[in-house]
Structure 1
């Protein structure tokens, strides 16, 4: 059964829940709620990675280092330090990663595909795990960044090259995770193809994390009856379908907003598989 990584965005502009948990008390309360619902890891981010494109417009705004540290470190301290939770820091800045790791985080979640070796060096200095999410540029879905000869082959090759960079920076192979980066520099069809090919990623020997939750590819694959894309909060069914595919493929973790519902889905699906061929 895959681990559940609960999403905690301490941001004003994340695509799904921007602004809801920007204040520290609300962020800590939501982190506690994710843990109570069954999250194995809380993934905390202080800068949105919302991709630009048709649905989200211009994408995220960059946050100064000091502001990002101000947002995330007290929340990391509360959840990891006082509650003993496993915490991942979702950042592309080495200074933010170092501050969060010092506060008790044990994972760095890098959404820029190991672009900056200093980020991996910060993780190595604290013996932290390192998630490499595939991305190209800022993840604009309507751009040349989506031009692949073969999306599965190309994403795998680029992730494996990134993993070599991370390992050269001092992170051991056993601590490296791969994330195909659904929705980042990918069309909806490309994200669907990656989901159907997760076995290829598992065969690399690296642990695999997938983040399908509430992504725009779900809205494009399953628009509302009137043809318009459903908002992020109305993508639970599509998220559940994607998580079921991830669990069946044997991935190591899924990164989700709706921890309780996804935990229920995974457990019931597992129980049904284990029930075998009973009476019809």
Structure 2
């Protein structure tokens, strides 16, 4: 199932090049999967996550019987689906008597399971259950704020791990420059206790404040839920070091003489023109005036009479 096949078409080679390692990786894609049995809460939650990650998510609607996270041999299918879809994040929902409304969020490295977080969902409210003006709804592709409230995110290892996974899941593509007009939503995570986190999604509404800085109001747009911590699998130390390893810097290009640039004018250069000795260069054509002067000079020399002095000495 995981045999490596050499692409035989140009399109296949392009797809392989897109998946090749890069110094600046693309945004992480999310794979959303269903377990053997799911509840209405889990189905609604997976649909909301898919809408929040629209453009960077792949959702499979079929039930998967052979996926059992945290069990030996139960994660083979997760690695296979990660390789097939080129997804670095996995969201898996299931429901059972022992673990009702169960949600597993995992990350992969080199299409191998890197770490896993399992939480139970309580007090869930979907995006459709909130009534608000659709004009202020967050736009697709906008960048969110994150607010983690509570000392548990700094002191409890399980909550610190959950914080890392949630940031990877919802932050989207990493950028260096950002337009403030594109910041139109915020994720609020509050550590109620060492094993319970309240999370909600709000839209930012800008209002007049009498100054340059507008006054911001939060409008809850969903989803909203409580995370109950269940099981964690922290990354292996050796795999963690390998994943955190940074690629060697690209060799600096040779500096081109007389070429400069800045953020406003862009790239520009100076051209030095050597002294052109115009007087010594042959002209490509002969002006008519010069030809006429030469002809007149030639005719005058033919008609010129030579006088000899015949006087005696």
Tell me if TM exceeds 0.5. Answer: no
Higher helix share: 1
Question: Higher Cα Rg: structure 1 or 2?
Answer: 2
Q: Which has the higher contact order (CA 8 A, sep 6+)?
A: 1
TM superposition score normalised by structure 2? 0.25
TM superposition score normalised by structure 1? 0.27
